[in-house]
Amino acid sequence: MVKAAALYIVIIIALLIGMISVSLLTIAYYYRAESQKKARTDRLCSSLESARALLLSGDYLAYDAELSKDLYGDGKDSVVLQKSGWGVYTLNTAKAFELADTLKSAFLSGISFTDPAAIYLADEDRPLSVSGNTQITGDGELPKAGLKQSYVDGKPYAGKELIRGAIRNSTRDLPPLNEKWIKTLLDNFKRKDTLAFAVKDSLNNSFFNPALVLKMGLADTVLSGLAIKGKVILISDTVVYIKAGAVLEDVQIYAPSIVVSEGFKGSCQLFARDSVVVGKGCTFLYPSFIGVFKPDGGRIQAKISLAAGTRFSGLLLSYEQKRSDLQTLISLAKDCLVKGEVYATGYIKLEKQVQVYGKVYAKRFIMQTPATLYENYLIDLLLNRKLLSKYYLSSPLFKRKLADQNVLKWLN
């Protein structure tokens, strides 16, 4: 006879076997589900990489419109692409999806900067003079009158070579800009599709959302203690003041004039009609932009002024379509450091100990000493193309032949 206790043992063993079987089946189910999910994720990542490559290719010319594409024609690798301007750079968004799974990416792109020149001076039939401890490293695009050393305040040129690079002849004008892109920027000054500015402490708008275009009233033009990030455009009909306590990242601001207080730090794009004045010791992180766009018939000198000790990474630009008597001006005070490009359709005013890692373009250079105003003199300056980061990317504002596009900044 079988003992009664054996029945309990059999039942227990059966339960254990059942539990183990169910566990194995459950593990197999979830393993298969995770395996399929991993496969879909890998496939979506691959599709997203393909979408990015399409956006950065020279053949992708569609702007401001979504493009849906089946990458391989099998209905499993669908992507949605969009390219548009974001200030002076290009905004790219890509979405890859399969069933309910979606991966997306947003990034700014720029143009590869392979120009070996450190300086471009338009040919107005006068030479460029260097004095003191000036150092120019990189090629020079200069007037036919050439480059010479001069005495200033009783001091000669201290270097052995006037320029460490090749010299090529410049033309009467600066390299042309993309006028269509500039027109798009200028249209932002008079946009009507605006919402009222109502930011109390912070605002962060994803680059996958439509742009928030906010009109600033008279009570809103002092940005202090606010954090504004992302796809946001601020427009004002009067002077905008940016205080040191403001946090700005990737934001565009359009106003007649903009004043940035001493000690500000951030990355933004500032557009003005009359002037942009930057206080001492400010830091503009890459990729930043400051530009003044003088209106036709403007009666004041549109200018950008960077005070002593400011650090700027990106692009400084002054622009007027037709040359006027009061040409635009970019002024860099003592001990300023610019990493990028400085482009002036008029004058660039440089004080001693200014450093530019990149390239400067100007119709004319001016320098003020206590005794004299010098034109086309460089005194105690450093212009060095080779110190600019190899990862620096320029703006589509410049017309460059065979220029590759690359990712400038990841956004979301």
Model confidence over 32-57: pLDDT tens digits?
766 666 667 777 788 888 888 889 98
Dist. CA 175–CA 186, nearest whole Å: 20
pLDDT of residue 73: 65
Q: CA-to-CA distance for 223 and 6, rounded, in angstroms?
A: 83
User: For residue 20, what pLDDT is reported?
Assistant: 84
Q: Please count the residues of the chain.
A: 412
pLDDT at 148 over 80: yes
N-terminal to C-terminal alpha carbon distance within the chain = 74
How far is Cα 343 from Cα 394, in angstroms, rounded to an integer?
12
Which amino acid appears at position 48 of this protein? L
Alpha carbon distance 335, 85 (integer Å)? 33
- Name the residue type at position 318: S
Please determine, for residue 374, whether its predicted confidence score (pLDDT) is greater than 80: yes
pLDDT band at 99 (very low <50, low <70, confident <90, very high): low
Q: Which residues, at least 6 apart from 159, have a Cβ–Cβ distance to it below 8 Å?
A: 130, 133, 134, 135
Task: Please state which of the ranges 31-45, 109-123, 246-260, 358-372 shows the lowest mean pLDDT.
Answer: 31-45
- Asked if residue 276 lies in contact with residue 292, where contact means CB atoms within 8 angstroms, the answer is yes
| Whole-number Å distance between alpha carbons of 305 and 284 | 14
Report the chain's mean pLDDT, rounded to a whole number.
90
pTM (2 d.p.):
0.89
Confidence of residue 97 (pLDDT cuts 50, 70, 90): confident
* CA pair distance 208, 131, nearest whole angstrom: 51
Distance separating alpha carbons of residues 168 and 153, to the nearest angstrom: 30
Among 179-193, 257-271, 366-380, whose mean pLDDT is lowest? Answer: 366-380
